[in-house]
Amino acid sequence: MVDGPSACVIGSSRYHGYDEERREVEIGWTFLARSHWGGVYNRELKRLMLGHAFRFVDTVVFLIAPGNIRSQRAIEKIGGIPAGSRPDGSGRQSLVYRIDARDWTNAGA
């Protein structure tokens, strides 16, 4: 992600764990420079990624460490719903949040 006219990279995020059968993909590994926390950047990044993902899948999931309250609240603000827990790619137990395409579209986001 690049911050406006300064063209400085302020962070990144990616898709992972595409499951064709379940029509699901994970968005994660989002990192933003601390100077850009709490603003519009994370929300806008996720909005763009969700819009793209929902052209191909029905569900987007986010795996978040149980102690990462800041990320849990950020995902809840964009419509993420708690959906249990499961191990992440490294085997660490993570909370699962999900957003379904039908809810995203109905939310007008």
Task: Give tens-digit pLDDT for 75-88.
Answer: 999 999 999 999 98
Going by C-alpha positions, the residue among 26, 28, 25 that lies closest to residue 12 is 28
Q: What is the pTM of this model?
A: 0.87
Residue ranges of domains in the chain, CATH in brackets: 2-107 (3.40.630.30)
The Cα–Cα gap between 39 and 31 comes to 14
Q: In what order do the strands lie in the sheet with 81-87?
A: 11-19, 24-32, 59-64, 93-100, 81-87
Residue 90: pLDDT band with limits 50, 70, 90: confident
In this model, does residue 3 exceed pLDDT 70? no
**Phi-psi domain of 17 (left: phi exceeds 0; alpha: psi -120 through 50; beta: other):** left
